[in-house]
Amino acid sequence: MNHAFVFMGGTFDPVHNGHLRTALEIQQWLDVPQVSLIPSKQPVHRDAPGCTSEQRLAMVDAAVADEPSLRADAREVTSDKPSYTLLTLQGLREELGAATPICMVMGMDAYLTLPGWHQWLEFLDYAHIIVVARPGYHFEPDETMQGFTRAHRVNDTATLLSKPAGHVLIHEMTPLGISATQVRQLVTDGYSPRYLIPDPVWAYIQDNNLYGYTTN
């Protein structure tokens, strides 16, 4: 078993089996005890009906309740600061000490948008980045992301975990073509999202009338 803090950040609006399956595969592949899911605090502006950060956290809690390899992490939702990735990474580094590897897991879609993230060039000072394939998103990096990837990429988990931070690893995993957008749309249109999300998350959506869910 390897010692590292591995996490996946996201809106999780709502969490779905694409997130959960990815997190579990990464946990098994890196041979670490747990992967943490960290919902962001900031409400994302959307046209469709959304929900609060507390509700998004509650759905992640419900989704991982019976899976010991996954945990929900409330640090961004309960923070009084905005959800900047760099702040989260700095907080984690402070908490875990200089030697513990920290791995941030993200889908290819998110990875390709990194140059738009606040102070993104500093992320690798604090953590590694693990990129996972996602249907519909091929690795077609622009010049910036090509250079960044070439400079930091390694190809095996042993090299990655031999250092606390600084590398990029691209993992070809079994991708599930599920998105939260698709889940919200189904619920809004009056269809069941069953089998795309865990049943407890679907129950929570129904109980709280999220995404425009109504009984009639």
User: What does the binding site for ligand ATP look like in residue numbers (CB under 6 A)?
Assistant: 8, 10-13, 18-19, 22, 106-107, 109-110, 132, 134, 175-176, 178-181
Could you say which DSSP state residue 70 is in?
Answer: E
Residue with Cβ nearer ligand ATP (19 or 41): 19
Residue with Cβ nearer ligand ATP (99 or 172): 172
> Does the N-terminal peptide bond of residue 14 adopt cis geometry, omega within 30 degrees of 0?
yes
Residue with Cβ nearer ligand ATP (53 or 179): 179
Phi, psi of 62 (to 5 degrees): -65, -35
Q: How far apart are CA 128 and CA 156, in angstroms?
A: 12
Residue with Cβ nearer ligand ATP (107 or 164): 107
Q: Is 39 left (phi over 0), alpha (psi -120 to 50) or beta?
A: beta
Q: Is 171 left (phi over 0), alpha (psi -120 to 50) or beta?
A: beta
Q: State in angstroms the smallest separation of the CB of 62 from ligand ATP.
A: 16
Q: State in angstroms the smallest separation of the CB of 46 from ligand ATP.
A: 8
Q: State in angstroms the smallest separation of the CB of 135 from ligand ATP.
A: 7
Q: Which residue is nearest to ligand ATP (CB)?
A: 107
